[in-house]
Structure 1
Amino acid sequence: MASAAAERVGRGGQMMGLDANEEMLSVARRKHADIEWRAGQAEALPFEDQTFDAVISQFGFMFFSDQPRALQEMMRVLRPSGRLAVAVCDALDHSPGYAVFAELLHRLFGERVVEAFRAPFASGDSALLLAACDEAGIGEATVARHDGRVRFASIDALVSTERACAWTLGGVLDDSEFERLQDKAEESLRPFVNADGDVDFLMPVLILTATRP
């Protein structure tokens, strides 16, 4: 996301990226040395008041420990008329492929594992997002749904991607359990495989936007 934003900003502007994980920042710095990367928490942004024209967050908000506080911080570092945009995954049941995958996880491994997988979808509710804005003192925020699609080269690629995510399944399943999941996923996810062998299904997102007065 930071890389795409930097391209939009161009040479006439400045882009800064923030992450709480030093290992992720090390990877980001190797890939995009032209972006200034900072370590920090969303709930305590390491920037002065009214620093930025825009603040964006993509698929991280659902993991913030204090979402209203994070929103307050984002608004604090915006200049007057600055724009805020926060993207989160919509509800799990709105993404058919991942909904089936969640049911498979529940059948194979039980509630603890499927709850870990559901975590990225936890903020997929417009009412919850707007309630967080109200608590943060942000008026006239809006939430819009955008329908995107998930595409993987194969079912194996989908499972491997989930395995690499330490936030969810990578932290709860061992090697033998992933082998079992890979085997069973071939049958459960077959309806989402197209003629080329790719996996393709709907995955909507919710985008919260607001402007600092």
Structure 2
Amino acid sequence: MVTQPTFKTLEHRGWSERARIYDRYSGRFCRYGVAALIDAAGISRGQTTLDVCCGTGEASLAAAACGAIVTGVDFSEDMIVAAQAKGSNVNFQVGDAEALIFEDAAFDRVINNFGTLHLADPERAIAEAARVLKPGGRYAFTVWRGPEIAPLFRIVPEVVSAHGTLEVDLPPAPPMFRFAEREEAMRVLSAAGFTDVTFGDIPATLDFPLAELSDFFRHAFVRLTMVLDRQEPTARARIEEALGERFQDFTDNGIVHLPLPALVVSAARA
């Protein structure tokens, strides 16, 4: 019997395939969270810091630039190789956010830049962050805001539904914007042993040439690319054409400037 892929295995495959080009595509807008993340976590010189879902290491490098002693972990070996190639003093290693190999109370700070929405069991990952933090240590993560204020996450499902289908052969995914809901974030963090929860808005923008829409969407996203790849060819063409039309309102001199607001959430380990 053929084993069907899980959400986690598909995420792993998708991001591993994009590791060498991550900075050119996804990294261009994910890096907007880094400065806010470092500030919210209160990272400073000498602090032991764990960067979970570190990807190609941008947040890890920023924390190290503050003088922190940084370990970066990602479930994709290809991402870790890309991070290590940047030649820093960060200890990059393969690791699972939902089953960290570190001892209890090993770190002063834990950060996660836009990785939470790619986790199959984010509550477990948050509990793991609490476990490896020292009492009084701080945890911070970034998440995208939902479709009510982020045009990308409203326009894309509307267009796909109008010209194709969202009912494709993919395993169910966790709610993408769950932790952008402040009450839900506070509830889960409190249950994991966190206190002093704070929130901060991040004004981010997704910029790409309108003429390169198809290329950008194929390489910058994983779940969305899988949805688009499962459309009939004629439907896929109509979807891309309709997306280009909808993005015209955000386009200047051929460059799309799409608001992509985010949220930084931080909390202290009790």
Normalising by the residue count of structure 2, what TM-score does the alignment of the two structures yield? 0.67
Question: What residue in structure 1 maps to residue 10 of structure 2?
Answer: none
Change (3 A) 1:7 1:199: same
Question: What residue in structure 1 maps to residue 206 of structure 2?
Answer: 150
**Which amino acid in 2 is paired with 1:151?**
D
Question: What residue in structure 2 maps to residue 181 of structure 1?
Answer: 239
Higher alpha-carbon deviation: 172-181 or 39-48 = 172-181
Report the number of matched residues.
210
Separation in 2, partners of 1:34, 1:72: 27
Higher alpha-carbon deviation: 10-19 or 45-54 = 10-19
2:97 is the counterpart of 1:39: no
2:77 is the counterpart of 1:19: no
Change (3 A) 1:156 1:179: farther
Question: What residue in structure 2 maps to residue 126 of structure 1?
Answer: 182
2:223 is the counterpart of 1:168: yes
2:188 is the counterpart of 1:138: no
Residue ranges of structure 1 left out of the alignment (5+ in a row): none
Q: Contact (CA 8 Å) 1:55, 1:84: kept in 2 or not?
A: yes
Q: Deviations over 1:148-188 (max 9, x none)?
A: 22222x12434423212563122233393544433222212
Question: What residue in structure 2 maps to residue 203 of structure 1?
Answer: 260
Separation in 1, partners of 2:221, 2:262: 21
Change (3 A) 1:182 1:32: farther
Give the Å deviation of 1:60. Answer: 1.1
**Which amino acid in 1 is paired with 2:264?**
I
Q: Let me know the Cα RMSD of the aligned residues.
A: 2.8
Pick the aligned partner of 1:58 from 108, 113, 117: 113
Give the Å deviation of 1:90. Answer: 0.9
Q: Contact (CA 8 Å) 2:106, 2:132: kept in 1 or not?
A: yes
Normalising by the residue count of structure 1, what TM-score does the alignment of the two structures yield? 0.83
Q: Deviations over 1:4-23 (max 9, x none)?
A: 44244338432211111222
Q: Contact (CA 8 Å) 2:59, 2:113: kept in 1 or not?
A: no
Change (3 A) 1:136 1:4: closer
**Which amino acid in 1 is paired with 2:193?**
G
Separation in 1, partners of 2:82, 2:60: 18
Give the Å deviation of 1:89. Answer: 0.6
Change (3 A) 1:6 1:103: same
Separation in 1, partners of 2:162, 2:217: 17
Separation in 1, partners of 2:246, 2:126: 39
Separation in 1, partners of 2:147, 2:87: 32
Give the Å deviation of 1:92. Answer: 1.9
Higher alpha-carbon deviation: 73-82 or 155-164 = 155-164
Question: What residue in structure 2 maps to residue 83 of structure 1?
Answer: 138
Q: Deviations over 1:12-54 (max 9, x none)?
A: 4322111112222232223345432222221211212222221
**Which amino acid in 2 is paired with 1:25?**
I
Question: What residue in structure 1 maps to residue 25 of structure 2?
Answer: none
Give the Å deviation of 1:132. Answer: 1.3
Separation in 1, partners of 2:254, 2:174: 26
Q: Contact (CA 8 Å) 2:136, 2:269: kept in 1 or not?
A: yes
